Amino acid sequence: MAYLIKKPARTLSEQVYAVEAAKGLGITFRRLFTNVFGKAEDKKIATIQYPDESRDYPERFRGVHRLTHRVDGSPRCVACLCCSTACPAQCIHIEPAEYGEGDPRHGYERFPRLFVIDELRCIFCGFCVEACPCDAIRMDTGTHVPASWSREHFIFDKETLMSIPGRDGTYVTDNPRHEPGDPTHPGIDRDHHH
């Protein structure tokens, strides 16, 4: 059904347009002069001058990967290949290996002899972090992968990934690990409880 829209009443200064335009331009130029010549605390500039200043990434930002450490400095990763299986970009390559004879983890856990991530192919979806049962791979580093001019520079090996700290500056995680021999360890199989 039809209805009537009333035109808003206008004053003479609004009707002639020039006065209102001058008001608007006044705001624009006042901002401009304040931002260019004004005192630092008066400036209202939204732009982040990136290389000179930056703002922190959000808390849940998925940055470059890191491999977390155990307390003895070895990787938490047990080379179960969950992350490389979950990876939609297939950018993770792991070669598992056995711990040596006499090591308490021998015959119980494996470790990654090679752990390579192609950070250029990675799409930073975080599926690897979700898939990991050991909290061994994390993306909480708060930094992006730097750009480079060669594809080879993006192949991050195990040593590189283990050298990247988390956002809190540490290489470990808050989740405790229960090593074989610890009183909290549930046992290496069903028949050998501690």
Partner 1 sequence: MGGADAGFVTTKIEDLLAWARKWSLFQYPFVTACCGMEFMSLNGPRYDGLARFGAEAPRFSPRQSDLLWVVGTVTQRQAPALRRIYEQMADPKYVIAFGTCAATGGFYDNYTTVPGIDKIIPTDVYVPGCPPRPEAVLDGLMLLQQKIQSGTRHPLVVPPKEVPEMVQLRKKGTSVYYGQKKLEAALGETNPVAALNAAFVEDRTGEATAIPAHLKDHRKG
Angstrom distances, CA of residue 138 to CA of 96, 121, 134: 19, 17, 10
Cβ pair 67, 162 in contact under 8 A: yes
Q: Which CB atom, from 64 or from 134, has the smaller least distance to partner 1?
A: 64
As measured in angstroms, the least distance from the Cβ of 121 to partner 1 is 5
Q: Which residue has the tokens 């400036």?
A: 43
Residue 50 binds partner 1 (CB under 8 A):
yes
As measured in angstroms, the least distance from the Cβ of 52 to partner 1 is 10
Name which of residues 63 to 102 contact partner 1 (CB under 8 A).
Answer: 88-90
Integer Cα distance of 68 and 85 in angstroms:
19
Neighbours of 109 (CB within 10 A): 19
Residue 139 binds partner 1 (CB under 8 A):
no
Q: Considering only residues 2, 15, 18, 51, which one is a binding residue for partner 1 as defined by CB under 8 A?
A: 51
Q: Which residues bind partner 1 (CB under 8 A)?
A: 46-51, 54, 57, 88-90, 118-125, 144-151, 154
